Structure 1
């Protein structure tokens, strides 16, 4: 039997120390590796599958650059294929693609060759579409671990679209086997015995390294072979068991110490929401408008914004399971990415003739408004806009480009100093009155349309007061609030009734940043309604609810129960029916002042079910309904099935769809009325603890993380639909993820006429971006359904040349208007001139 040893380190860029503290050690590590490779103590070394390790080290130790390049060129040092080792469930599919594109760019800048193995063993589970992404970059292998089926040492792994890679299931952390020369023979024999229990033939892969550890050379005289990951995959490429085929996500219960750590889906949810907002800004707004405006000069800033987002993608970052200092830096990175993105968006609009800089005298007679649609289909949806008038003036009406009146609601009025400055605008502050308007807009595909707000002298209006009430009716739906602040939705025509929508359920959490763990003696709390007011207009009908969630303040000293001391969380919950939009818009907001608890919003269906569906990056998965928590483990080093699963933007039961972008943890709960439970808060105070019931070993250092208690304002928004057709629900989720946006144009500008841009019928657009090589643009289409479709594309110049995800063009040229077939859950990518 042969043991194939690969020397490596696993480098969490930030975790139990902040990034700069780890980087100082990383620079020392890279120097030590170069020394050992120079002396021949190591034959090869794998620098953890991510180019950012080399980039971070060389940024502070440029004197090592030539040595690193030399060892890489000689095949002794491997990096990549990723830029960062992301938690690839919590980021978008486009984020993963940008990650691999960035790795190619960074490797080229550093003069390094990229590794050819899809290396990601420490992600907390693996998404169904990862084989598709890897194959799109010419990678036909994957090294996986957490969530991989334990019975398979190696297997063929397929995405729902049919893309397949050769996968090896191997834990990356095996430094103790060869750490001490005296014990190495005995430990190596034990390693081979363990491996042979699931793979009788071998050869066996031993990843000699671990978290932030310098390498130890191979002790002399051992029956082991040093090599590379690529070399190992070459050895086993023709030794794949024919029956070892796995399709879909890898979230299988693991064996000893192989934790999936599902609680990270909801730890510090504010990070997940910030990530979704930054991704959406870049993917749906900045990239398409940069292409539309042909702003080649924007590419450098656009890459910078993406780099900031990618730096937050590693599992210890986006998962929220690091020390508090790390996540403060994460929030700053997200804020920086948004700052860059909004600047690029403003500049693209300016180049397109839409000046949103409010310089000059505030309006006194009319304000031009532009509504932009990021979707490649005509869209009717709600939008809000702030209109700034001169003091002593108010908005008196709203008209579309034909002059027809448009119903609107006045939501807020506030005297506001308005500051404006730019390269060609002298800094200036003017007194204004801000009027926030809400209305339902009709926007052309991929383009924009104008509206005019009429302004007159007079006292500013005031938002209409609601009237006490607990029920509204609009467009054939009736919504009523219950005493527990949940809502009943009635389809009046059919009589179909769904009570309990948005029912908030609070339970204790004695876990840590990795794992939800119910206390031995738990208490379940639901809100109590205080009052409800109805707001009804031509634009929308909504119920604004105030309720109290009276919860224990935290856990007892021994963490076995919730404390007797209580605090009240005042809730504001709003249920809205917008005119002409077949969707219930549910939102909740509160300030969290309690510790050690979890809050979920339940959306029960009215039909029996055994499974539920949800979207992932480019596909839809069907999962079994489960109990809220599986059986608690009795053996050390195992974890319970948490029941939760990662969701990109929507989930569905028969007859009920829930749209919740930015809230990635959902449970499909079995019962007489099956329910979708969306987690909106999980508050804990420890990075890891060794005394949980749901996980019988630590998952990291036992360090306090008081800011993981999320004592901040919590906001969550969910859409509810009674239509569960995959195509329509996916389109609705996309609209919710990237809603229409509106801006007031610079005073003196006229409202623009409707302008149509990119239009796609039969599919959704996943990306419309500048090409990496600076030559033209890239368009990626996705079929979000389980049946084949034919898409047509209009609003682009020239033919479409098909390419892979790496943007390497092939020979096939398509007429965009003639029809583009896409198989079930397929993606197709094209180069545009």
Structure 2
């Protein structure tokens, strides 16, 4: 059987070294590859699956550009199809689509062709919707590894919507086979024997390379027909039609691995602050900056900035970055990139609103009589939900009332008031600082689909009334719901309408973690700790009913010296837990906040249901996915080179059990735990101090260098927020999850401005909007609809300019004009359209 030898490198842009240190070596590697290709020592080379490798190398070695282009044009140098090799579970579906779109743009700019294989060599598991994304770009093959069924070398991988690719399960790291010429023949024979055990039919694929390694030429005498230099495309062309039609694997690839094939599930919660920042930045760009840019017609003025923001965000998507499993220097840079992307995104939102007649810049004399507010709705459906806004008045003035655009009084809560100097400057505004009083108010707003509505706050002389101090108490009632806090700071929710009682909501459980950035590992002598309530204060108004709880979590300070137990020394973590029932919103808003001063521990919030269950459901990129309930941790491996089933799984923002939905955007690690009752456990903190360790029980081999990562202990302010609904109806909870990801936002308009009338925009009934963005080619916009549920829906679209022309994910028209009043989306389907081009 022929062995297709694909010379390659796997280039982690940042990992055990910071990015610039790796880039310096990357430039050396690209120069060496060009020399070897020039000399004929190599005939073909795959510069990893990401165009960012070429971009990074040429940024510091522009003298190599012509040589790289020449080798690419001759078919000797291959790159892509991605811009970065993302952890494709922790980023959104739109993030993956932007990744592939960016690769096409970068490749065109650099004069490179793209590999036409869905190359995903080292992601820590693969999401169920990845075949859909690949097929949307014309890619019908995928190379996968971690999480793939270990006994299947080749299979047809099917997404929930029916999209299918031919998948090959192959480890990318095989440099040792041909590394030494003297032993290459014997090692190649061993490799062939191993592959025969997995795939008797052949041919075989040998990925001749590894992490950050320069290639070595194929040893003389091996290219005799048994082994030949090849490409991924040539290999897939030979095997594509040999995979039986019934060799189908459906859904996500998170199967327990074979020897040294770890899924590394602990990366879902390592440095959770990165995951929260990523979710916030994705939401800012996808739900706010892009749709408002389309609505305002800014087009070319914003295209470069949008691409720049996405470039910054994509740079944090690789698995060693977003997963939090690099050295501390890397993740400091990640936080800066997130901050920069958010700065660009907020500027785009401000400018789009300005073009739409909504000037949110605080220039001019502070208000003394009335303040205009605007509430903007990013969803293509009307929304009723809470908003919080800072309202600035002149000193000595306060808020006296609030009315909506029709002049109707609106209840509001004053949360805080304080003197604040307010600075403003812009291209058309001279720099100036005004003394103001900032009043933070909260209210429940009603906003039209895809648009905005105005509110007016009356302002009068006087001192602000002190915010509601509340009263001691442990129970509130709002409508049919009664909420009571227990001694362990968890909550019992009673629904009078259904007679249901759910105790233990938000029960916090802290356990030890002797693991590393890749793997949760309970110490042999563990101790589970829950908070003890100190005080509870009740706040009730027409806007919300709220219980604010102060509790103490008394935990071991870390681990014993031998890491087998939690330490005798203890620290107290003072917690603030807030549970809110907003008016007209059938959802419990649960939040926890504290300063983490302990090491080597994991904190989860548990949300039990009151019904029997054998499985739980979570949202992935575009679909809902069922998973079995499991123990908190599977059996510990006894052989070297294996890992235990961690039980946790990735979610985008939604997990359900019968009669219960937990909405947790930015908190992607959830466990569905079997028990009486079954529960969902959301991880809110995992603190560890090592990149990788070789002495774990849950993973019996190292997963990377043994380097200290003290900042992965997350000694910082920890904040987590979860919404709870007493239903698991698919349409209801997926819409609620979208609103929780991107809640209404409110701004004070420039002093002297009148509050705007209610103005609608894009409206979609029957489906959700995944994207409404400027088209990559600058001609109009792209609208993407998604049906995340298991039943067919018919959607209608209003508020868009011109006709809808169906396109694929690469934004190429496919089927012509579509009627906007009857768009059929099958179960879990997505459909994309060009608009206004």
TM range (shorter): over 0.9
Q: 2:553 aligns with which of 524, 546, 549?
A: 549
Distance (whole Å) between structure 2 residues aligned to residue 20 and residue 351 of structure 1:
39
Find the counterpart in structure 2 of residue 75 from structure 1: 75
* 2:795 aligned with 1:784: no
| Secondary structure of residue in 2 paired with 1:238 | helix
**Cα deviation 1:716-749 (Å, max 9, x = unaligned):** 0000001211111000000000000000000000
* 2:499 aligned with 1:508: no
Distance (whole Å) between structure 1 residues aligned to residue 246 and residue 689 of structure 2:
45
What aligned pairs does 1:761-772 form with structure 2 within 5 A after superposition? 761-772=765-776
Question: 4+ runs of 1 displaced by more than 3 Å?
Answer: none
Is the Cα contact below 8 Å between 1:475 and 1:580 reproduced in 2? no
Is the Cα contact below 8 Å between 2:292 and 2:352 reproduced in 1? yes
Q: CA deviation at 1:495?
A: 1.8
**Cα deviation 1:666-690 (Å, max 9, x = unaligned):** 0000001000000000000000000
Q: CA deviation at 1:475?
A: 1.6
Deviates more, 1:456-465 or 1:595-604: 456-465
* 2:239 aligned with 1:236: yes
Find the counterpart in structure 2 of residue 561 from structure 1: 565
Unaligned runs of 5+ in 1: none
Find the counterpart in structure 2 of residue 288 from structure 1: 291
| Secondary structure of residue in 2 paired with 1:197 | helix
Q: CA deviation at 1:268?
A: 0.1
What aligned pairs does 1:87-98 form with structure 2 within 5 A after superposition? 87-98=87-98
* 2:412 aligned with 1:408: yes
* 2:288 aligned with 1:253: no
Q: 1:809 aligns with which of 806, 813, 819?
A: 813
Find the counterpart in structure 2 of residue 156 from structure 1: 156
Distance (whole Å) between structure 2 residues aligned to residue 101 and residue 486 of structure 1:
45
Distance (whole Å) between structure 1 residues aligned to residue 465 and residue 417 of structure 2:
7
Find the counterpart in structure 1 of residue 801 from structure 2: 797
Distance (whole Å) between structure 2 residues aligned to residue 690 and residue 578 of structure 1:
49
Find the counterpart in structure 2 of residue 648 from structure 1: 652
Distance (whole Å) between structure 2 residues aligned to residue 115 and residue 402 of structure 1:
57
| Secondary structure of residue in 1 paired with 2:198 | coil
| Secondary structure of residue in 1 paired with 2:21 | helix
Find the counterpart in structure 1 of residue 214 from structure 2: 214
* 2:494 aligned with 1:490: yes
Q: CA deviation at 1:243?
A: 3.2
Find the counterpart in structure 1 of residue 127 from structure 2: 127
**Cα deviation 1:553-572 (Å, max 9, x = unaligned):** 00001000000000000000
Distance (whole Å) between structure 2 residues aligned to residue 259 and residue 250 of structure 1:
12
Q: CA deviation at 1:2?
A: 1.5
Find the counterpart in structure 2 of residue 21 from structure 1: 21
What aligned pairs does 1:41-80 form with structure 2 within 5 A after superposition? 41-80=41-80
Distance (whole Å) between structure 2 residues aligned to residue 661 and residue 694 of structure 1:
27
Q: 1:832 aligns with which of 819, 823, 835?
A: 835
Find the counterpart in structure 2 of residue 31 from structure 1: 31
* 2:272 aligned with 1:269: yes
Find the counterpart in structure 1 of residue 380 from structure 2: 376
**Cα deviation 1:172-198 (Å, max 9, x = unaligned):** 000000010111111111111111111
| Secondary structure of residue in 2 paired with 1:696 | coil
| Secondary structure of residue in 2 paired with 1:541 | strand
**Cα deviation 1:581-624 (Å, max 9, x = unaligned):** 00000000000000000000000010111100000000111000
Distance (whole Å) between structure 2 residues aligned to residue 195 and residue 489 of structure 1:
56
Deviates more, 1:439-448 or 1:234-243: 234-243
| Secondary structure of residue in 1 paired with 2:4 | strand
* 2:749 aligned with 1:758: no
**Cα deviation 1:133-188 (Å, max 9, x = unaligned):** 00000000000000000111010000000000010000000000001011111111
Distance (whole Å) between structure 2 residues aligned to residue 799 and residue 132 of structure 1:
25
**Cα deviation 1:762-790 (Å, max 9, x = unaligned):** 00000000000000000000001100000
Q: CA deviation at 1:278?
A: 0.3
**Cα deviation 1:276-305 (Å, max 9, x = unaligned):** 000000000000000000002100001000
What aligned pairs does 1:108-119 form with structure 2 within 5 A after superposition? 108-119=108-119
Q: 1:664 aligns with which of 668, 673, 676?
A: 668
**What CA RMSD, in Å, does the superposition of the two structures yield over aligned residues?**
0.6
Unaligned runs of 5+ in 2: none
Is the Cα contact below 8 Å between 2:665 and 2:741 reproduced in 1? yes
Structure 1 length-normalised TM: 1.00
Q: CA deviation at 1:496?
A: 0.6
Find the counterpart in structure 2 of residue 679 from structure 1: 683
Is the Cα contact below 8 Å between 1:2 and 1:203 reproduced in 2? yes
Count how many residue pairs are aligned between Structure 1 and Structure 2. Answer: 832
Structure 2 length-normalised TM: 0.99
Q: CA deviation at 1:55?
A: 0.2
| Secondary structure of residue in 2 paired with 1:301 | helix
Distance (whole Å) between structure 2 residues aligned to residue 563 and residue 811 of structure 1:
64
Q: CA deviation at 1:493?
A: 2.3
Is the Cα contact below 8 Å between 2:578 and 2:591 reproduced in 1? yes
Q: 1:352 aligns with which of 350, 356, 364?
A: 356
Distance (whole Å) between structure 2 residues aligned to residue 802 and residue 183 of structure 1:
55
Distance (whole Å) between structure 2 residues aligned to residue 170 and residue 407 of structure 1:
60
Is the Cα contact below 8 Å between 1:780 and 1:829 reproduced in 2? yes
Distance (whole Å) between structure 1 residues aligned to residue 246 and residue 737 of structure 2:
37
| Secondary structure of residue in 2 paired with 1:395 | strand
What aligned pairs does 1:455-604 form with structure 2 within 5 A after superposition? 455-604=459-608
